[in-house]
C-alpha cells in the first residue's frame, strides 16, 4: 500500500529524514509501553527504497511494531519500488483461456461448488482430485478467501487494499458486487480502466457507507496501517450485522522468523508497521467488537518466505535475476514440511488467516 498523492522525496541515501519520523513510545495494538527490542538495525532488504535502520519492539501483549516509524504523510516514499509499481504490473488476469486452462479451472470449480456452495461450470469428481493434495486444496481456498457462495448478486464485498483489483475480478466472477479501496493511485487507475469499482482511500477514514457490506477482505494489508485498531473498528462499522471480515498477513509466530531472524521476508521494514501472532490477532479482533473469531489453515507459502529470506540473508535482491545457489532440493523439502506442519498447527505458519463476524 502507498499513500494517496505524490510521496515526498527522500533525499538522503543513508537515513530517513528525522522530521518525517514519528515516535510512538507505546504499542499501536494495545497502547501498552512495556516492551523489549526484538530487532534493531533492520534494513529495507526487499525493495531497497527506504533508507535508514529500523527498530522493531516486542510488546508485552505479544505484538511487534516499529518505533520510530515513517509518518503517515511520508511513508509513501517507502513504496517507490514496490511490486505494484513494477513495469507491466496489472491486475493479474490472463488474457483468454485455452482448453487446458479451462479444464483445470473446471476441476477446481467442482471443489468450490461442493465446499462453498457455488454453481460454477465444473468437471464431475473434480473435488476428489483437489482433495488429494492438501496444499493445493488450501491454496484454492485462499484464492477465493474462503468466501461462501452469495445468496444474491446484491451481496456486496469490499476488498481493502485491493491494488489494481485482481481479487475484485475473482469475487465478481463468483457472483458478488465487488468494491475496492486502495490508496495507491497508479494501481487504482489500472483497475478503473478495466471497469472495476475502486475507490481511492485508506483505513481508517475510507468515507464508505456504514453497514453496507456483507464481506470485507484484507490480504496483506493490516500490517501496513498506522492505526490497525481504528481500521478494524471501521471495518466493523462497514459490515452489515452478521457480516464477515477475512484477514491474512505475515505471522509473528512463523517458523521462518525463528529461522531467519532479521532477514525474514515477513518483517519488511518500514512498510510493515506492526505484526501479531495467531493469539494476538484473535484478541485484537475481539477487542474491536468481532465475534466467532476463527483461525483458518494458513496459505501454503513457506517456499516464498524461505526463498526470499535466503536472498535477503545473502544480500541479494529477492526480486532480481541473480540466481540463489543455496536454494536446492533440501530447502524445497524444508518448505514443503513447514507448510505441512502449519496445516496441523496454525500457530507456526508463515502467514495467518482469520475470519470474524460483526454480531447479528
What percentage of the chain's residues is helix, strand, coil (to nearest 5)? 35, 20, 45
Location of each CATH 3.40.50.150 domain in the chain: 150-357
In 19-148, the DSSP E strands lie at 21-22, 35-42, 54-59, 64-66, 69-70
CA 97 to chain centroid, in Å, comes to 27
Per-residue model confidence (pLDDT) at position 186: 84
pLDDT tens-place string over residues 5-55: 444 455 556 899 999 999 999 999 999 999 999 999 999 999 999 999 999
Give the pLDDT band of residue 1 (cuts 50, 70, 90). Answer: very low
Give CA angle at 44 (41, 50), nearest 5°. Answer: 105
Give the pLDDT band of residue 90 (cuts 50, 70, 90). Answer: very low
- Spatial distance between the Cα atoms of 82 and 47, rounded to a whole number of angstroms: 6
Residue % of the chain over a pLDDT of 90? 85
130 versus 4: the higher-pLDDT residue is 130
pLDDT at 122 over 50: yes
- Spatial distance between the Cα atoms of 302 and 349, rounded to a whole number of angstroms: 8
Which residues have a Cβ under 8 Å from the Cβ of 53 and sit 6 or more positions away? 15, 40, 41, 42, 43
List of long-range contacts for 171-177, beta carbons under 8 Å, 24+ apart: 171/144, 171/147, 172/196, 174/118, 174/120, 174/144, 174/147, 174/149, 174/150, 175/118, 175/149, 175/150, 176/147, 176/150, 176/215, 177/153
End-to-end CA, the chain: 31
Please answer whether residues 77 and 50 qualify as being in contact, where contact means their C-beta atoms are separated by less than 8 angstroms: yes
Per-residue model confidence (pLDDT) at position 85: 45
pLDDT tens-place string over residues 179-210: 999 998 888 888 899 999 999 999 999 999 99
pLDDT tens-place string over residues 92-115: 443 346 788 888 999 999 999 999
pLDDT at 148 over 80: yes
Sheet with 274-275, strands from edge to edge, namely 35-42, 54-59, 64-66, 274-275
Statement: 150-357 belongs to CATH 3.50.40.10 = no
Q: Phi and psi at residue 11, in whole multiples of 5°?
A: -80, -35
pLDDT tens-place string over residues 227-270: 999 999 999 999 999 999 999 999 999 999 999 999 999 999 99
In 189-298, the DSSP E strands lie at 198-200, 213-219, 239-250, 274-275, 291-296
- Spatial distance between the Cα atoms of 292 and 268, rounded to a whole number of angstroms: 30
Query: Exposed/middle/buried for 88, CB within 10 Å: 0-12, 13-18, 19+?
Result: exposed
Find the helix packing angle between 134-143 and 99-116, rounded to 10°: 80
Per-residue model confidence (pLDDT) at position 238: 98
Amino acid at each position: 500500500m502507498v499513500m494517496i498523492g505524490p510521496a515526498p522525496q527522500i533525499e538522503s541515501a543513508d537515513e530517513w529524514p528525522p522530521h518525517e519520523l514519528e515516535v510512538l513510545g507505546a504499542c499501536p495494538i494495545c497502547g501498552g509501553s512495556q516492551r523489549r527490542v526484538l530487532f534493531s538495525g533492520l534494513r529495507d532488504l526487499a525493495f531497497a527504497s527506504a533508507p535508514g535502520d529500523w527498530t522493531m519492539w516486542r510488546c508485552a501483549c505479544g505484538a511487534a511494531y516499529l518505533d520510530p516509524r515513517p509518518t503517515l504523510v511520508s511513508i509513501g516514499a517507502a513504496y517507490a519500488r514496490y511490486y505494484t509499481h513494477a513495469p507491466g504490473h496489472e491486475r493479474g488476469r490472463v488474457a483468454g483461456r485455452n482448453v487446458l486452462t479451462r479444464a483445470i479451472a473446471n476441476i477446481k470449480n467442482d471443489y468450490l461448488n461442493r465446499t462453498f456452495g457455488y454453481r460454477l461450470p465444473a468437471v464431475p469428481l473434480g473435488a476428489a482430485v483437489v482433495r488429494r493434495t492438501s496444499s493445493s486444496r488450501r491454496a484454492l481456498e485462499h484464492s477465493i478467501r474462503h468466501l461462501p457462495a452469495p445468496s444474491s448478486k446484491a451481496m456486496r464485498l469490499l476488498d481493502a487494499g485491493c491494488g489494481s483489483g485482481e481479487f475484485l475480478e475473482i469475487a465478481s466472477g463468483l457472483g458478488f458486487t465487488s468494491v475496492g479501496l486502495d490508496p495507491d493511485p497508479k494501481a487504482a487507475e489500472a483497475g478503473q480502466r478495466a471497469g472495476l469499482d475502486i475507490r481511492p482511500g485508506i483505513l481508517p477514514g475510507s468515507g464508505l457507507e456504514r453497514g453496507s457490506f456483507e464481506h470485507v477482505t484484507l490480504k496483506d494489508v493490516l500490517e501496513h496501517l498506522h492505526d490497525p485498531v481504528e481500521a478494524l473498528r471501521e471495518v466493523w462499522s462497514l459490515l452489515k450485522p452478521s457480516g464477515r471480515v477475512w484477514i491474512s498477513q505475515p505471522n509473528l509466530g512463523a517458523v521462518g522468523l525463528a529461522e531467519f531472524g532479521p532477514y525474514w521476508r515477513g518483517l519488511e521494514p518500514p512498510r510493515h508497521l506492526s505484526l501479531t501472532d495467531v493469539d494476538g490477532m484473535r484478541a485484537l479482533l475481539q477487542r474491536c467488537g468481532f465475534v466467532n473469531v476463527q483461525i483458518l489453515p494458513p496459505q501454503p507459502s513457506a517456499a516464498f518466505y524461505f526463498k526470499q529470506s535466503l536472498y535477503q540473508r545473502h544480500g541479494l535482491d529477492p526480486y532480481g535475476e541473480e540466481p540463489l545457489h543455496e536454494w536446492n532440493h533440501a530447502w524445497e523439502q524444508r518448505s514443503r514440511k513447514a507448510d505441512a506442519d502449519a496445516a496441523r498447527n496454525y500457530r507456526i505458519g508463515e502467514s495467518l488467516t482469520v475470519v470474524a463476524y460483526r454480531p447479528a
